[in-house]
Amino acid sequence: MSRVTIYRILVIAAAIGILELLCLIGTIDRITMQAPHLIARDLAAILVAGKLNGAIAKTLTNASVAFVLALTVGIATAVAIHGYRALRETLDPLFATYYAIPVFGFYPLLIILLGLGDAPQIMIAFMLGVVAVIVNTLNGLDRVPNVLKKTARIHGMGRLDLAFTVTLPYAAPHVLTGVKLAVAYSLIGIVGAEFIMSRGGMGYEISFAFTNFDNATMYPLIVLILLVSITANTLLSLWEKMLLTRRGYS
């Protein structure tokens, strides 16, 4: 383990330790927050009892669907528009200002259009993630050296072959940056939408627990969301690191 990794673990452990201490001596009262060890115990209890499994499954499934949609639509769009300069220059301002748009503002409209089921939530999460995938994929595709494309042509590759065997693999580290953002945005989108208006899911359960002063449910669920997001991100970062090491960046 590198020194930096040890420092990072120490920082996190210290933060949890301080929180634990503040809760134990009563600086943070029980109604505001439970001590970290109680949160861990409650989380284990919730998972073992399984009464929130449905909510957890709903959130993670919807986030996965939104993520896969953002990924496939994003990559396909990037590959399709990559070669068209005028089109890209037209779309550039949209991409550049996209994340200034509060997408959640459209949620009521999406509910009207798509109904009160999972669809508008998935749509929100998809809309949040897709442009990050497009922009990062385009960025990677722009960097593919011409000589690699020529090599592919010399070996008889058509446009689709070229994308799958040369340009996308070359752009993979950049695409992965988009993928990491899409994972985060999918979770944000789904949980956020569940918070605002929904009949289930982790966001709904958190907000329900909040209005009922049910800390034994609220904090464990928040921690669970954190764990899911951090785990996904760590795995992707490891993959990214492997790709980059192979290419001589380390």
Q: Using CB under 8 A as the criterion, which residues of the chain lie in contact with other proteins when the complex forms?
A: 145, 147-148, 150-151, 153-157, 165-166, 169-170, 172, 243, 246-248
Give the shortest CB-144-to-other proteins separation in angstroms.
10
Give the shortest CB-157-to-other proteins separation in angstroms.
7
Nearer to other proteins by Cβ, of 105 and 158: the residue is 158
Q: State the Cα–Cα distance between residues 200 and 154, nearest whole angstrom.
A: 55
Nearer to other proteins by Cβ, of 119 and 243: the residue is 243
Nearer to other proteins by Cβ, of 3 and 246: the residue is 246
- Report CA 54 to chain centroid distance, whole Å: 21
Give the shortest CB-154-to-other proteins separation in angstroms.
5
C-beta separation of 127 from 103 below 8 A: yes
Q: State the Cα–Cα distance between residues 135 and 182, nearest whole angstrom.
A: 12
Give the shortest CB-173-to-other proteins separation in angstroms.
9
Nearer to other proteins by Cβ, of 5 and 146: the residue is 146
C-beta separation of 221 from 202 below 8 A: yes
Nearer to other proteins by Cβ, of 102 and 248: the residue is 248
Residue with tokens 């009262």: 29
Q: State the Cα–Cα distance between residues 133 and 110, nearest whole angstrom.
A: 22
Nearer to other proteins by Cβ, of 50 and 248: the residue is 248
Q: State the Cα–Cα distance between residues 57 and 55, nearest whole angstrom.
A: 5
Nearer to other proteins by Cβ, of 88 and 153: the residue is 153
Give the shortest CB-155-to-other proteins separation in angstroms.
6
User: Collapsing DSSP states into helix, strand and coil, what is residue 199?
Assistant: coil
Give the shortest CB-135-to-other proteins separation in angstroms.
22
Give the C-alpha distances (Å, rounded to integers) separating 80 from 34, 160, 195, 211: 51, 10, 35, 47
Q: State the Cα–Cα distance between residues 226 and 187, nearest whole angstrom.
A: 10
Give the shortest CB-113-to-other proteins separation in angstroms.
42
Give the C-alpha distances (Å, rounded to integers) separating 30 from 34, 38, 208: 6, 11, 18
159-171: b (≥16 Cβ within 10 Å) or e: eeebbeebbbebb
